[in-house]
Copies of this chain bind each other. A is one copy, B any other.
Amino acid sequence: MYRTHTCGELRSEHRGSRVTLAGWVQRSRDLGGMTFVDLRDRYGITQLVFNMDINRELCQHARKLSREFVIQVSGKVAERSNKNPKIPTGDIEILIEELNILNPAVIPPFTIEDETDGGDDLRMKYRYLDLRRPIMKKNIMLRHRMAQEVRKYMDSQGFIEVETPVLIKTTPEGARDFVVPSRMNRGQFYALPQSPQTFKQLLMVAGYDRYFQIVKCFRDEDLRADRQPEFTQIDCEMAFVERDDLLDAFEGLAKHLFKTILGVEVNYSFPKLPYDEAMENYGTDKPDLRFDMLIHDLTTLAKGKGFGIFDEAEYIGAICAVGCSEYSRKEVDAITAFVMRPQIGGKGLISVRINSDGTIKSSVDKYYQQEDLQSWVDMAGARPGDLLLLMAGNRHATLKALGELRLEMGNRLELRPDDLYKPLWVVDFPLLEWDEGTGRYYAMHHPFTSPKLDDMDKFATDPGKVKANAYDLVINGVEIGGGSVRIHDENLQKLMFKNLGLSEREAKEKFGFLMNAFRYGAPPHGGIAFGFDRWVALFAGLDSIRDVIAFPKNNAGRDVMIDTPSAISEEQFDELGIRLTD
């Protein structure tokens, strides 16, 4: 062993003991006859002292150490005269008697500190140095801790972790698959799983009753800011359960993580908000419940008074920004500019100030009487000192834009604190979404989701109206997981594929094994898949999942550290029986 203790371990009580430490030179300072070195490892930082008077040669040796050198030192633990209360080892230092350079280091391309001067590209290229930064270590260790607690909890609830295969079959539904040419079966391909969906359902058919897995999944999508081609799910499935049994079980997992990871006791049932209500009240299917500021429908009140934009709108809605009646023109302009950004897509913003004296002043005063405006104020529950913000247009788009505006105002008013967590279930999603482009329905969740029993009669005749027995777990405006009660009946599954425009032949070719399995005694079942990367990021207080993944890809799907993807050899092409298109 290269050490007797770690760099995070020594305290005053070790005073006088002879110890050996090993680690990286964080920094070194020469002060008169002394040289101080901060030695770092995963566990912490310990101060080393070299004294010119005691051992000149050793001290001179120490003065040649640069940042990130790997060294081994031995010496005596001493109480510091100048204690550092910021670190757990701050009461002591080591008076060094022996120094051994285990590996020198060239100057790193950026500083190895939380506040680094390294840009994204450089940090990705030297990811092994980036991962040395304490903040990155904290993220990766949080991820480990969460994975452990997930497994501990699921195991305690009788769930079995079963590994499902990575080399599976390409399917026509969902996102684009990554494929893997087979050498032993020339001309044929495996696909990497977008999720272990069909396998976990087969495990329910096989009687495994409660399954989970923390598992890598793959999607060959054009990468938006926060997508990765490979990502990790907490994948779960249960048999002989109804929707609320599923929600209870997975809510238990969430509460366990809140408690063990964050020390937050959530001792209420997560609210269950129907999709339609979420859209109407929050303009999104993943509402942030840390603050209210609901969207109010003013369509009936505000139409027909001669204001063209409103009169022509399908929908007029408003949010009430509490205490913002005195916003300056500049501030209102900034909010207007926000909603008019292309990604929000608003056409404009109408503001209504409710002055502290109760009078109301709007930007559309010439079209509306005070009573009209008062009716809006009443509908929105606004009070003196508040500011109403109205948008109008196509219903769906306007609700979405108001939802974005709501979040923006939440930020401005600091209503979204990092240390407050508001989980909820969004339920009763539509089963299908119509796509104008391809002229067909797509499954909103996936094609194995059961329609709600009440809507079953509409399924063959009016599938667009059918609600799904599906649910999402949303925390602070972030979708953490989604699941559903599954179809477990062969004929219903066939009908579902038909509604999705799959021919009988296609359905059989791609999912015949599943429909066949349903004929041999399939239990009622359902489950969920949580986005593990996202959950860790949420708990780490991060917006991006990239910082909770040890070795992520960049937006072009490249790992610039190992430089992949890359060319393969002629021999590999020959063996696989493929070649590049000219």
Given A128-B206, A207-B41, is A185 in contact with B558 using a C-beta cutoff of 8 Å? Answer: yes
Partner of A185 from the list B126, B216, B523, B565 (CB cut-off 8 Å) is B565
Query: A40, B2: Cβ atoms under 8 Å?
Result: no
Query: B240, A2: Cβ atoms under 8 Å?
Result: yes
Query: B127, A185: Cβ atoms under 8 Å?
Result: no
Q: A567 on the interface (CB 8 Å rule)?
A: yes
Contacts of A182 in B (CB 8 A): 557, 565
Query: A524, B2: Cβ atoms under 8 Å?
Result: yes
Q: Which stretch, A387-395, A537-545, A570-578, touches the partner chain B?
A: A570-578
> Distance in Å from the Cβ of A569 to the closest Cβ of chain B?
8
> What is the chain B residue whose CB lies nearest that of A216?
B166
Contacts of A564 in B (CB 8 A): 167-169, 188, 190-191
Interface size, chain A (Cβ < 8 Å):
124
Query: A567, B129: Cβ atoms under 8 Å?
Result: no
Given A42-B209, A207-B42, A245-B1, is A165 in contact with B230 using a C-beta cutoff of 8 Å? Answer: yes
Query: A68, B520: Cβ atoms under 8 Å?
Result: yes
Given A22-B523, A103-B518, is A561 in contact with B128 using a C-beta cutoff of 8 Å? Answer: no
Q: A27 on the interface (CB 8 Å rule)?
A: no
Partner of A575 from the list B141, B176, B207, B519 (CB cut-off 8 Å) is B176
Query: B207, A24: Cβ atoms under 8 Å?
Result: yes
Contacts of A103 in B (CB 8 A): 488-489, 518, 521-524
Query: A524, B102: Cβ atoms under 8 Å?
Result: yes
Copies in the complex: 2
> Distance in Å from the Cβ of A469 to the closest Cβ of chain B?
15
Contacts of A22 in B (CB 8 A): 240, 523
Q: A131 on the interface (CB 8 Å rule)?
A: yes
Q: A31 on the interface (CB 8 Å rule)?
A: no
Contacts of A207 in B (CB 8 A): 23-24, 40-42, 131-132, 137
Q: A309 on the interface (CB 8 Å rule)?
A: no
Contacts of A242 in B (CB 8 A): 1-2
> Distance in Å from the Cβ of A228 to the closest Cβ of chain B?
9
Contacts of A578 in B (CB 8 A): 578-581
Query: A562, B209: Cβ atoms under 8 Å?
Result: no
Q: A218 on the interface (CB 8 Å rule)?
A: yes
Q: Which stretch, A147-155, A400-408, A453-461, touches the partner chain B?
A: A147-155
Q: 28 A-B Cβ contacts within 8 A?
A: A1-B241, A3-B240, A103-B522, A127-B202, A131-B202, A131-B208, A140-B160, A140-B208, A141-B160, A143-B162, A144-B161, A148-B155, A163-B216, A165-B559, A166-B218, A167-B564, A179-B181, A179-B568, A179-B572, A184-B557, A185-B556, A189-B568, A190-B564, A191-B568, A202-B551, A574-B581, A579-B579, A579-B581
Closest 7 pairs (CB-CB, A-B)? A105-B521, A188-B565, A131-B206, A169-B564, A2-B240, A182-B565, A68-B521
The interface of chain A, by Cβ under 8 A from chain B, is 1-3, 6, 22-24, 40-43, 68-70, 72, 102-106, 108, 126-129, 131-132, 137, 140-141, 143-144, 147-148, 151, 155, 160-170, 176-192, 198-199, 202-203, 205-210, 216, 218, 220, 222-223, 229-230, 232, 240-242, 245, 488-489, 512-513, 517-524, 549-551, 553, 556-559, 561-568, 572-581
